[in-house]
Amino acid sequence: MFHIKCEHTNYSKGQQMTRLTIYLILINIVSLLIFTLTPAAARLFYIRKKLHLFPLLLTVAGGGIGILISALFTRKTSGIRRKERFLISFLTLIELLILLIVGSFFIPDPHSPRYRVQQQLKKLQALDNDTLEAFIQFENMTVTGTASVPVSSGSAMKAASAFFHDFHWKIRSQRIMEDTAVVQVQIRGIDAHALAMDLAREITSDAASAFASSVDESTKEHPQLPGDYYAIMNDLLKENKYGTVSSEVTFHLTLTETPAEDPLGHWEITVDDELLDGLMGGFISLLGTPDLLSPQDVLTIYLDELKEMTSGDWKTYLGTSDIFSLYSAEYSSVADDLYFNALADHFSYEIHSDQTDTADLRTVPVTITSLDMNAILADYHSRLIAYAGTIEASAADNAGRSEEAAKLLTEAIVDGSDKTTSFDLRIAMENNGIAWRPIITEEFTDALLGGLKTAMEAFTSS
């Protein structure tokens, strides 16, 4: 449950009125007990031998009713003179009139727009499901491109509850214009920008993970965003401590037709996207901002995902086996494992400043470091040439020579597994109206694989 702080609103004034009422009851009980049980108290502190100061002080403090009730039951022993009783009665009457006048300002008008807004905010405070679904319209609280999640889903309700855990409001003003009204409310809640940034990073990270683990090229080009991002949002709110920020929200209300039982009419709040976004500190509009994460931020997330990949992940990413086409029962899988292990060990990157080409396309300069496949295949080529001049090569059949060649490549990968090289690229980032995404090119893929394609072409032509 979240808690709404209502300082300086009619609701807080009502609380103050309740406290004042409790105080008056207590002070009058004390006055009644004092003057009933200890009548001598009425004669404390003379004022020129005519009036007693103590009962007058208690009257000014609000205990006049208790004193007068005590005087009725202990008329002969109370010690309060007739003149004092008259003065106490007069002062008490004045106090009651003041309380009635002041109280009229403290008690909210149940037919006012201000009161209607207060009632709805108090229902939100209690996490009333109907009110929550009316104001926090989950179908709008979505990230474009994600799968839809039912409004009544547990993750959505938990996310809303966590979002409004630290929520405060203060009504600033109301303005009534015949059958319409505007109520200005100051909202203080979770830093929506920080939360939206974290949520965008998590969603992008999930998309990058799908990109890295998929063997489907179409998925690599257009990775799917997660559907139940409410669960991600709820986890973020539980794991992180976000600050609070203030914003102004405008409630628009319309006076409905006056029913017979309510001749003064009924104010209805207009619930629209603007109000929803305002109650959530601009969170909804932030989620729909394609530039929430910069191209460098998105590319960093994607490359970090690749950097965390194991040798098995690299094998899944490429979606192939016997990558060197050795066709060897003994060495094909060994060569693959050695190669993927080296990729996992040596892949790193450095992102430089970006260059804006168009509003929807940017190129980001990046240096990728990976296994030096050109050096490994050059070493392999030398080993093959040396083997070709031996008696063993002349005596072996095609199958034997192929098996030896596979062995030599495996040895070349082992000896060259500590060799790295760098590739300077400009990775294109496309904004599809949802977010920035990298455009996967052959050049980018070849750099990830240590220049395998260009090295194979050089090896074949040598």
pLDDT tens across 222-264, in order? 444 445 678 888 889 999 999 999 999 999 999 886 555 555 4
| Same-domain pairing of 228 and 342 | no
CA–chain centroid gap for 268, Å, is: 29
- The per-residue pLDDT for 224 is 44
pLDDT tens track for 367-390: 999 999 999 999 999 999 999 889
Cα distance between residue 409 and residue 405, in whole Å: 6
| Same-domain pairing of 117 and 243 | yes
Residue 453 zone, left/alpha/beta (φ > 0; ψ -120 to 50; rest): alpha
Which of the listed residues 287, 320, 336 is the one where a domain comes to its end?
A: 287
| Same-domain pairing of 383 and 260 | no
| Same-domain pairing of 249 and 207 | yes
| Same-domain pairing of 88 and 215 | no
| Same-domain pairing of 156 and 277 | yes
CA–chain centroid gap for 462, Å, is: 57
Number of separate domains in the chain: 3
Query: For the CA atoms of the chain, what is the radius of gyration?
Result: 39
Contact between 128 and 157 (Cβ < 8 Å) = no
| Same-domain pairing of 441 and 314 | yes
- Dmax over CA atoms of the chain, in Å, equals 140
What does 105-152 look like in DSSP terms, one character per residue?
Answer: HHS--TTSHHHHHHHHHHHHHTT-HHHHHHHS-TTTS--TTSPP--TT
Which of the listed residues 287, 304, 339 is the one where a domain comes to its end?
A: 287
Please work out, in degrees rounded to the nearest 5, the angle formed at the alpha carbon of residue 303 by the alpha carbons of 298 and 307. 150
Cα distance between residue 385 and residue 336, in whole Å: 23
Residue of 153 and 132 predicted with greater confidence: 132
Please give the backbone phi and psi of residue 183, each rounded to the nearest 5 degrees, phi first.
Answer: -120, 120
pLDDT tens track for 208-227: 887 776 544 444 444 444 45
Does residue 410 have a pLDDT over 60? yes
| Same-domain pairing of 143 and 254 | yes
Question: Exposed e or buried b for every residue in 372-395, given b needs 16+ CB within 10 A?
Answer: bbbbbbbbbeebbeebeeeeeeee
- The per-residue pLDDT for 46 is 41
| Same-domain pairing of 132 and 150 | yes
Quote the domain boundaries for residue 424. 295-461
Query: Residue 55: which H helix or E strand, with range?
Result: helix 53-58
Give the pLDDT band (50/70/90) at residue 342: very high
Which of the listed residues 74, 106, 138 is the one where a domain comes to its end?
A: 106
- The per-residue pLDDT for 134 is 64
Helices (H), 129-272: 129-135, 154-163, 192-213, 217-221, 229-239
Question: Helix, strand, or coil here: 370?
Answer: strand
| Same-domain pairing of 117 and 48 | no
- The per-residue pLDDT for 105 is 59
- The per-residue pLDDT for 38 is 65
Query: Residue 340: which H helix or E strand, with range?
Result: helix 332-346
Give the pLDDT band (50/70/90) at residue 6: very low
List the beta bridge partners of residue 365: 426
| Same-domain pairing of 445 and 312 | yes
Contact between 250 and 184 (Cβ < 8 Å) = yes
| Same-domain pairing of 334 and 457 | yes
Query: Residue 460: which H helix or E strand, with range?
Result: helix 452-461
- The per-residue pLDDT for 276 is 86
Contact between 369 and 447 (Cβ < 8 Å) = no
CB atoms within 10 A of CB 83: 10
- The per-residue pLDDT for 34 is 73
- The per-residue pLDDT for 297 is 92
